A and B are shown apart, each in its own frame.
Chain A
Amino acid sequence: MAWTRPLVDTPPVSARDAAADREATFARLFEEFATPIYNYALRMVGDPDRAADVAQDTFIKAYRKLDQLTDEAAAKSWIYRIATNTAIDDMRRRRFTVPMGGDDDPSQPERADAGPGPEAQVLGGMVDERIQRALLALRPNHRQALLLSDVEDMSAQEIGAVMGMSYGAVRTLLCRARGQMRRALAAEGLVR
């Protein structure tokens, strides 16, 4: 799945070096982030086909905005920001419905003992599916923050860069998201 063929087939001579650099930069980006971005999109939207669309559009946008990436060290937060916005666009277009209540939303009661215990679920090979359902039960911004933190292992500072939020706001958001996630996992019978 490597990115091998230059997109600009016949650049002007004066622009050839710049175009080559651009293609090389994008090839590295695609190689490093194609799978993580697809998985991030999959956890965000919960559907493989839609996740593929989100990943595709993310990289198309990234290619077109590549001039904005002045520091490759910041590439991770940059491309995740594009992916986050693209996933939100996808959810808006498809009228994705998730609980939108506040943190004390009574529509998400704690059901700590619902369903079989974790061991049985592991044996049944359904842990990932239940985690995904728990994720989809969260507000989208809670889901984003948790995925970036616990799956992508980003710091609050990096998450802030992705989500366009301050460091303090991210810490508060993550704290609320963890409480919600714990309740959602309990509802899936994955924790007590």
Chain B
Amino acid sequence: MTGPRRISHADAEELISGSLTGDLTDDEARALDTHLAGCSRCRATADAWAGSRRLLSGVRHVSAPRDLGARVRAGVERGRFAPVPWWRRPGFAMTSVGALAAAVVALAVIVGIPRTPTPVASGSPSATASASTSSVSASPVASTSPLPPSPSGDATATAEPSVAPAPPAYRLEYAFDVPGDITQGTTITVVDGGSGSVVRSLHAGTDIVGGPPIQASLSPSGAWLALRIQLDAKGTEHLYAMALSGDTIVDLGETLPDPFSERMPWSPGDGAYLAFTLVDPANGDADVSIFDAAAGTVTQLTSGGSAYAGSWNLTSTADPVLWVSLAAGGGPTSYLVTIGAGGVVPERINPADDSGQSTSVDQYVANDTFVPLLSPDGQHVISWRGTMEATSSGWRMATGGSLRLTGPDPNGAGELLLPEMGTTLEHGFVAWSANSDAYAVWSIGAVGASLVPTVWLGHLSTSPSVLTDAQRLDRNDVPLDGTIRDVAVAADGRHVAITVSYPVAGDLAQPTAELRLVTRNFGTEADTVVTLGGDVWVGPAVYAP
């Protein structure tokens, strides 16, 4: 027979709290009694909290207003509530017919944009770059050139002056602590992209699990970096959030690789929250979680197993609003979820069930819309549509899969046509630049087609609603034998940082990746590419917001 378990002061405080509401098991009660018998500090806490509870429970109750019943009756009969934004009232939920076009209109209203066509630059003098210069290994230098016109495919365009690749704000490096000896551990280093100085080092086994970084996301404040690590041996990935100053690192969880889950958006403004999707390695369920940077806590936002984080919506309220998409249930559907209302992060909600029922899930619904990605200015959105099916590691487009770019003008919405990719897309990746003009699309998988390491860089100002060969980066920008792990677009929309990994020679070999810093050139001039890494792992990188 064993005695009561020993508990810490922190555990004792939680049990003291539980004892006040009769929420302790017999074992917990015995453990608490034993602890209190020998701990004057916790006895004082118990007395103090009991006193506080007596004070609060003794607070005087007042009568409800005499006219409350009449007010309720009148409200029910009038069918009227307290002021509610018009788009949140019943009757404005989207229907499936013409859903996307209507969603564009509603999105435009939600983000407060004028419903007039975006001016499109005419006669842009540029052309597709025809070939890449050979890569060189060098430290990138800052670009001071203003943003030139974007490529338009106009063969008569004049050449624009080339500029050197812009350094990212930070890049990640990953290497064995002892070259050639994996048993001695590995380290991920965060390097300042401009100065080359080390910002933080993360050691496998003590700070993080061991594996190369494959994706990163910088918070708008620049204080936090979200990080995705590949666990080769397990075939899974691990997510972390780390403060760039100090030694805080928060484990966000483990996930199966899933293209639609590889999005880690920080909330606009101060970046108070990070949204991310975890696909449970045990059962393949996909659900959205929220990291609260101020509290350092992680809350599972959704339940149900087919929920993916889209992107944050711009909102006039103080509380961030997140698009959450459900893959299951008759086609992809996206819902607006309020995060942090009144200081509360909702927990384990099902947007489909809670839509319009709770304060967290808005009544606004966008049907046939999956993981919408809003531009930073909120005026455009790139989203997936099509029917979906579950796989052993998350969800994919099964039939009719396509990417669509929509903007303030609902008539201007259109498919993003991707040459050589067939008619039904299965999955892929998208990112906006901070200037809300440039967007990158890469690693698109099509049903029945092999994955081609290709990156498109579109610009709304010159090529709205269409991606063609004219927007494809030079074929030499990304080697065909490489795998694109991440793409970041600089704020000027002309520089791109691409992380490309290569097959590992063996289980004990150092994984290698290159960070290819590409400057998009125009006219007949090839893109400029500076390559970092190759013998070790360099990448991914993030640009300043």
Whether A42 and B347, one on each chain, are in contact in the complex, defined by CB atoms closer than 8 angstroms, is no
Whether B57 and A150, one on each chain, are in contact in the complex, defined by CB atoms closer than 8 angstroms, is yes
Residues of A within 8 A of B349 (CB): 164
Q: Which residue of A lies closest to B341 (CB)?
A: A88
Whether A102 and B57, one on each chain, are in contact in the complex, defined by CB atoms closer than 8 angstroms, is no
Whether B344 and A163, one on each chain, are in contact in the complex, defined by CB atoms closer than 8 angstroms, is yes
Instruction: List A residues 85-138 near B (Cβ within 8 Å).
Output: 85-93, 95-96, 98, 100-103, 127-128, 131-132, 135
CA distance A65 to B274 in the complex (A): 33
Residues of A within 8 A of B55 (CB): 127, 131, 185, 190-191
Mask of B69-93 contacts with A, CB within 8 angstroms, 1/0: 1011101110001110000000000
Q: Is A60 an interface residue (CB 8 A)?
A: yes
CA distance A68 to B72 in the complex (A): 19
Kindly state the interface size class of chain B when it binds its partner. Answer: 35 or more
Q: Is B192 an interface residue (CB 8 A)?
A: no
Mask of A67-99 contacts with B, CB within 8 angstroms, 1/0: 010000000000000000111111111011010
Whether A60 and B72, one on each chain, are in contact in the complex, defined by CB atoms closer than 8 angstroms, is yes
CA distance A48 to B360 in the complex (A): 25
Whether B52 and A185, one on each chain, are in contact in the complex, defined by CB atoms closer than 8 angstroms, is yes
Give the residue among A89, A90, A147, A156 with the most B Cβ atoms within 10 A.
Answer: A89
Specify which of B20, B48, B295, B319 is in contact with A191 (CB 8 Å cutoff): B48
Residues of A within 8 A of B65 (CB): 38, 48, 52, 55
Specify which of B14, B20, B63, B342 is in contact with A91 (CB 8 Å cutoff): B342
CA distance A165 to B348 in the complex (A): 8
CB distance from B336 to the nearest CB of A (A): 14
Specify which of B81, B83, B347 is in contact with A169 (CB 8 Å cutoff): B347
Residues of B within 8 A of A155 (CB): 21-23
CA distance A48 to B61 in the complex (A): 12
Q: Is B138 an interface residue (CB 8 A)?
A: no
Q: Which residue of A lies closest to B344 (CB)?
A: A141
Residues of A within 8 A of B72 (CB): 3, 30, 56, 59-60, 63
Mask of B213-251 contacts with A, CB within 8 angstroms, 1/0: 000000000000000000000000000000000000000
Q: Is A39 an interface residue (CB 8 A)?
A: yes
CA distance A166 to B346 in the complex (A): 11
CB distance from A1 to the nearest CB of B (A): 5
CB distance from B241 to the nearest CB of A (A): 15
CA distance A142 to B129 in the complex (A): 59
Residues of B within 8 A of A93 (CB): 82-83
Q: Is A2 an interface residue (CB 8 A)?
A: yes
Residues of A within 8 A of B13 (CB): 175, 179
Residues of B within 8 A of A89 (CB): 341, 359
Q: Which residue of B lies closest to A97 (CB)?
A: B318
Residues of B within 8 A of A2 (CB): 69
Whether B56 and A146, one on each chain, are in contact in the complex, defined by CB atoms closer than 8 angstroms, is yes
Whether B52 and A182, one on each chain, are in contact in the complex, defined by CB atoms closer than 8 angstroms, is yes
CA distance A186 to B23 in the complex (A): 26
CA distance A6 to B256 in the complex (A): 55
Q: Is A34 an interface residue (CB 8 A)?
A: yes
CB distance from A3 to the nearest CB of B (A): 6
CA distance A140 to B345 in the complex (A): 11
Q: Is B412 an interface residue (CB 8 A)?
A: no
Residues of B within 8 A of A178 (CB): 17, 20, 49, 52-53
Mask of B334-357 contacts with A, CB within 8 angstroms, 1/0: 000010011110111100000001
Residues of B within 8 A of A163 (CB): 344
Mask of A26-56 contacts with B, CB within 8 angstroms, 1/0: 0000100011111100110000100011011
Q: Is B64 an interface residue (CB 8 A)?
A: yes
Whether A92 and B342, one on each chain, are in contact in the complex, defined by CB atoms closer than 8 angstroms, is yes
Whether A153 and B61, one on each chain, are in contact in the complex, defined by CB atoms closer than 8 angstroms, is no
* Residues A101 and B294 in contact in the complex (CB < 8 Å), given A7-B76, A191-B51: yes
CB distance from A66 to the nearest CB of B (A): 11
Q: Which residue of A lies closest to B346 (CB)?
A: A164
Whether A7 and B77, one on each chain, are in contact in the complex, defined by CB atoms closer than 8 angstroms, is yes
CB distance from B250 to the nearest CB of A (A): 13
Q: Is B358 an interface residue (CB 8 A)?
A: yes
The 7 A-B residue pairs with the shortest CB-CB distance in the complex, in nearest-first order: A85-B359, A38-B64, A140-B342, A88-B342, A175-B17, A150-B56, A59-B72
20 contacts between A and B (CB under 8 A): A1-B64, A1-B66, A3-B73, A30-B69, A38-B62, A38-B63, A38-B65, A43-B59, A53-B82, A60-B72, A60-B76, A63-B76, A68-B357, A128-B59, A131-B56, A149-B53, A151-B57, A175-B13, A178-B53, A191-B48
